[in-house]
Amino acid sequence: MAKRILILTDSISAPAYAPRVVTLCEYLTARGWNCHVFSDCEHGNQPFSAPFGTWHHTAYYQSGNTRLRYIADKLFGARERQFQHFIEQSVDVATFDAICCTTCYYFPLQTTRRLAAKYSKPFIVDLRDIAEQWGDIAYNTHSVGSSQRLNKWLHRWFTAINLRARNRVLRAASEVVTVSPWHRDLLSQYNPHTHLIYNGFDAQQFVPCDKASESFVISYAGKIYDLDFRDPRLLLDALRQLIAEQQVDPKQISLIFHIDKASIPALHDMIAGFGLLDISSISGYIPPSELLPLYYRSSVLLVLTCQSTPKGAHGIMGTKFYEALGVEKPVLCVRSDEECLAQVIRETNAGLAATTTEQVKAFILDKYREWQKNGFTRQAVVKEQKQRFTRQYQAAQFEQLMESIVQ
């Protein structure tokens, strides 16, 4: 008899449509599992479904009075209670073998714990992001009022409340999964059965393809939000120097950013300060259908981050790195986190996690000469290591954990 798994997740939205949970559901369905996925659409997002498994969605924030609903959620857990009611109205939870919750931060952890306790089901928690990873960086702060000081105070208060509630869920979970060695080590203090399953790339989609390009393209497609956190200064300084030293021809260089609209003005001013606007293109996100063509015509793919410090960010390993690894394009990580991401870049030989301008200059010049010779670049990644970061490999890791709790 097919095993039944109830998968609860936060919002599944554009542009990525939660590839971790989507690949997991696809893999498990092909392996004979019966999967029901429940998600809650954020305000303005469209519901998502796939041709495998059964997909359910609700929309707590879709109606009016979003700010009041946010406060009701934070103070009284209204969203979690509505989500639990929706699930119990949609399926017979008692018929499932196990529950899996995969989320950024908190929602729907409480729903998962309540359902698991009510129906005596084992459950797995997969945390893709946690509040502690940002250190003192003011990231993901929700604006409740017009006062910045009030918003920061409320954010700290909500975070403290949610962390206590989250940790109670972690202690009750059968297994806990997270995305970097740093995350695993931190969460292990709440549940010793904490496992590392990295994020990754779809091996069926992100494959190498050598295409000649008329220019040497350095590109970045993703969020910035805070230039102190995702900091391109080492790259900009290196390009400025290489052009001034006439080691590269600026007419052959294209620096392309597709980023969140809120970050465009600040990045524009930063690039202008380095005198590189003439070679730069800065615009909003591109559709998923345009992402691979951008990767294929790029000579270097940027990964923007910052150095990990005691009070700074930790364990941040964005999906753009894994996609670059999949297509085997040279990765330039600026500035190196000198932690988890830098370690994986070394292990896979995916490119450079840079700490100095001189390192970036040497890397860019090497790839520039490769492009001049071949019309494209290709990174000689370590194939055995690359395989560890496919979403299909990671789905198999999840299945092993699920098998262990339903036996």
Exposure string over 92-128, b if 16+ CB within 10 A, otherwise e: ebeebbbbbbbbebbbbbbbbbbbbeeeebbbbbbbb
Over the stretch 106-143, which tens digit does the pLDDT of each residue have?
999 999 999 999 999 999 999 999 999 987 665 554 55
- Do 22 and 60 lie in a common domain? yes
265 contacts: CB under 8 Å, gap ≥ 6: none
Portion of the chain with pLDDT greater than 90, in percent: 76
Cα separation, 293 vs 302, in Å, equals: 15
pLDDT at 190: 98
Over the stretch 237-283, which tens digit does the pLDDT of each residue have?
999 999 999 999 999 999 999 999 999 999 999 999 999 999 999 99
- Do 269 and 189 lie in a common domain? no
Residue 145's pLDDT band (boundaries 50, 70, 90)? low
* Alpha helix segments (H runs only) across 121-178: 148-172
Q: Read off the CATH number of the domain in which 36 is found.
A: 3.40.50.2000
Q: Give the chain's domain count.
A: 2
Give me 182's structure tokens.
Answer: 């740093």
- Do 170 and 236 lie in a common domain? no
Inside any domain, residue 127 = yes
Is the Cα torsion angle 239, 359, 301, 336 positive or negative in sign?
A: negative
- Do 249 and 352 lie in a common domain? yes
Inside any domain, residue 251 = yes
Inside any domain, residue 205 = no
pLDDT at 137: 63
pLDDT at 249: 98
User: H or E stretch including 27?
Assistant: helix 19-30
Q: Is the pLDDT of residue 80 over 90?
A: yes
Top pLDDT among 175 and 43 is at 175
Average pLDDT, the chain: 92
H helix count then E strand count, the chain: 14, 13
- Do 195 and 226 lie in a common domain? no
Radius of gyration of the chain from its Cα atoms, rounded to whole angstroms: 22
Q: Are 280 and 255 in contact (CB under 8 A)?
A: yes
* Alpha helix segments (H runs only) across 77-223: 78-90, 109-119, 148-172, 181-187
Inside any domain, residue 19 = yes
pTM: 0.92
Residue 81's pLDDT band (boundaries 50, 70, 90)? very high
pLDDT at 16: 62
Cis status of the peptide bond prior to 15, with omega within 30 of 0: yes
C-alpha distances out from residue 372 to 62, 105, 175, 252, 323, Å: 51, 45, 50, 10, 24
Taking residues 357-377, what's their average pLDDT?
A: 98
Top pLDDT among 215 and 14 is at 215
The HSE-up count of residue 104 (CA atoms within 13 Å, CB side) is 13
Q: Is the pLDDT of residue 64 over 90?
A: no
Domain of 353?
216-387
* Alpha helix segments (H runs only) across 255-406: 264-273, 291-297, 319-327, 340-348, 357-374, 383-387, 391-406
Taking residues 322-326, what's their average pLDDT?
A: 97
pLDDT at 63: 64
Count of other CB atoms within 10 angstroms of residue 372: 13
- Do 149 and 232 lie in a common domain? no
pLDDT at 15: 58
pLDDT at 71: 76
pLDDT-wise least confident of 91-95, 144-148, 233-237: 144-148
